[in-house]
Copies of this chain bind each other. A is one copy, B any other.
Amino acid sequence: MVLHALRATDCATLTEITRVTGLSRPTVEGVVEGLIENGLVVEKAAEEGAARRQGRPARRFRFRAEAGHLLGLEIGPHRVAALLADLDGRVLGAMAKEVDEGASADERLERLRIAVAELLRRAGVARSSLRAVGVGSPGIVEADGTVRLGTALPEWTGLRLGERLSRSFKCPVLVENDANAAAVAEHWKGAATESDDIVFVLAGLSPGAGSLIGGRLHRGYGGAAGEIGALHLLGREVTPETLLSTTDEPLHPLDEQAVAEVFALAKGGDQRARAAVDRFIQRLVHDVAALVLALDPELVVVGGWAAGLDGVLEPLRRELARYCLRPPKVTLSLLGEAAVATGALRLALDHVEEQLFAVEGTVTARR
């Protein structure tokens, strides 16, 4: 409770903490002393080196968000990215590296390690200061951080991703599906801060989705919730790569550059490209409708590709309104390509908060 009170404000006096928490003054004093010993709280005056002035002004304390650090990592087909934050979740730095879509798992993880090392060095943060690392990755991720199935990246299925990354860190490493992480991010500081019941659609050639129900991530019984990429196979329909192609050859499944070109051509009035985009949107509408009918969210956030997706919004709204018994609001991602790493960061922050407040809970229970 004391930690909660201190984190909610810049700094506070013992009297203020006593008032906010409802705890007795001796209790608050004891807890604050303990938190100072742990390095999580500091006395403002002492920190500022100011001599106590006459009249003995009340001592003021503040939460030391700099007492530890967090990483939010993204592993994607074309890039790896890392976000560094303090214990308040305030972002201190970011780093991204391109990676070849055909890179082996080893190469991809090595690129990520390089990005992290560079990010920590530039920010002047010691690796030992890290309290938790969140990771967003394509694929179905099990609770222990193993990728059960991941067709989007080479050598990804079966990869013990959590264990591999843990070798680089002494703190806990939490691995989550990328669309799930993005859903958490949009809810934290993106397009979905006002809603607790959302579906985030990662609209790639193989679309995935993450959903929050009552503000909590819905992973499903086996961590596979939202993996709607296979839905079209049941209708015996063609793949998105074929839908979006303007030639007789399907696009490469991971070639987002080619996709962006088709979208650009369609905008420019090219007939074949426009037809391809229409086919693609129809598919996306169908996949999103399946999610919406199953889950009935308040809000659908569409993200994934930076380019071209704005044209998706209107047809999506129109078709969902036609076929869903209770159509949701539909909006574009606000976080764009930062969504996955931001969500991974939030998951790391959740973990640390749980730890911090669990300690506090134990103290309370013991009283």
Contacts and interface: CB of A to CB of B under 8 A. Distances in A.
A218 B323 CA distance: 21
Given A326-B222, A326-B224, A231 B148 contact: no
Contacts of A211: 294
A294 B149 CA distance: 16
A197 B221 contact: yes
A296 interface: yes
Nearest to A151: B325
A219 B296 contact: yes
Interface in A170-208: 197
B296 A221 contact: yes
Nearest to A228: B293
A221 B297 contact: yes
Interface of A: 140, 148-149, 197, 209, 211, 213, 218-228, 230-231, 233-235, 285-286, 289-291, 293-298, 319, 322-326, 328
A176 to B, nearest CB: 14
Contact of A234 (B233, B289, B296, B297): B289
Contacts of A325: 140, 148-149, 224, 227, 230
A68 to B, nearest CB: 31
For the complex of A and B, 3 pairs with smallest distance between CB atoms: A220-B296, A294-B294, A290-B290
Contacts of A213: 213, 218
23 contacts: A148-B326, A149-B326, A197-B220, A220-B296, A221-B297, A221-B328, A224-B293, A224-B324, A224-B325, A225-B295, A225-B296, A227-B325, A228-B294, A230-B293, A230-B324, A230-B325, A231-B293, A233-B322, A290-B290, A290-B291, A290-B293, A290-B294, A291-B294
A323 B234 contact: yes
Contacts of A297: 220-221
Contacts of A230: 289, 293, 323-325
Contacts of A221: 197, 296-298, 326, 328
A285 to B, nearest CB: 7
Given A218-B213, A290-B290, A296 B235 contact: no
Contacts of A235: 235, 286
Contact of A226 (B285, B293, B298): B293
A273 to B, nearest CB: 23
Nearest to A225: B296
Given A211-B294, A290-B291, 19 more contacts: A140-B326, A148-B325, A149-B325, A149-B326, A218-B295, A219-B296, A221-B298, A224-B324, A224-B326, A225-B294, A225-B295, A227-B293, A227-B296, A230-B325, A231-B293, A234-B285, A234-B286, A235-B286, A294-B294
A222 B295 contact: no
Given A140-B326, A148-B326, A328-B221, A295 B296 contact: no
A296 B326 contact: no
A295 B294 contact: yes
Contacts of A322: 233
A137 to B, nearest CB: 15
Nearest to A319: B234
B231 A290 contact: yes
